[in-house]
Amino acid sequence: MSMLAGIVLIVLGLLFFLSGTVGLLRFPDVFTRLHALSKADTLALGLVCAGLALHEDDGALQLKLLLIWLLVIVSGATCASLIARAALAHGIRPWQR
């Protein structure tokens, strides 16, 4: 049962990675692309980590998977803020319809 749930979570995660790429390529400016990228950093990697954790019996390894996810979330959030501020300071205006 947890095997199947893990597979579902991992496949969902892969789809969110795909959405990150699609967003990175199709969105019109750096701010919207950041938005797409943060989905890959948080949700997609989180789903993959959760799926693998379900396939894992060893508690220490599950904790390691959780730590990896948390680290990437923290870094991703900070980097998104840094890049967005830098882009604004460079005079890049957010895209408007």
Partner 1 sequence: MTVFYLAGALFLLANVVVALARVLRGPTAADRMLSGELMGTTAVAVLLLLYGATGIEALLDVALVFAILAAMAVVTFVRRTWPEDPAADDEGESR
Partner 2 sequence: MRAPPSPTASDPGNGDGLMHPVEITFDALLLFSMVVLAWQGVHARNMFRAVVSFIMFGLLTAVAWVRLEAPDIALAEASLGAGLTGALLLATLGRLAPERRGARRPKVVKLSTLPWLTMGLAGTTVLLAVTLTLPAPGLGEAVLAAMPAAGVDSPVTAVLLNFRAWDTLLEIGVMLLAVIALWSLGQDVLASKPRLPAPALPALVRLLFPLFVLSTFYLLWRGGHGPGGAFPAGALLAAGLVLALLAGAQVPERMRGAPLRWALGAGLFAFLVVAVGLMWAVGTFFAYPPQHASILIAIIEIAAGLSIGVMLTALFLGGEPTDIKGGGK
Residues making contact with partner 1 (CB under 8 A):
3, 7, 10-11, 13-14, 17-18, 20-21, 24-25, 30, 33-34, 37, 40-41, 44-45, 48-49, 52, 55, 61, 64-65, 67-69, 71-72, 74-76, 78-79, 82-83, 85-87, 89-90, 92
* 8 A C-beta contact, residue 80 and residue 37: yes
From the list partner 1, partner 2, none, which binds 27 (C-beta under 5 to 8 Å, kind-based)?
A: none
CB of 59 or CB of 97, closer to partner 2: 59
* Helix pair 45-54, 59-89: axis angle to 10 deg: 180
Q: In whole angstroms, what is the distance from residue 11 CA to residue 51 CA?
A: 9
Closest CA to 40 of 56, 28, 25: 25
Q: Interface with partner 2 by CB under 8 A: which residues?
A: 71, 74-75, 77-78, 81-82, 85-86, 89
CB of 1 or CB of 89, closer to partner 1: 89
Q: In whole angstroms, what is the distance from residue 92 CA to residue 8 CA?
A: 39
Q: Which two tokens stand for residue 94?
A: 């957010």
Shortest spacing between CB 97 and partner 2, in angstroms? 28
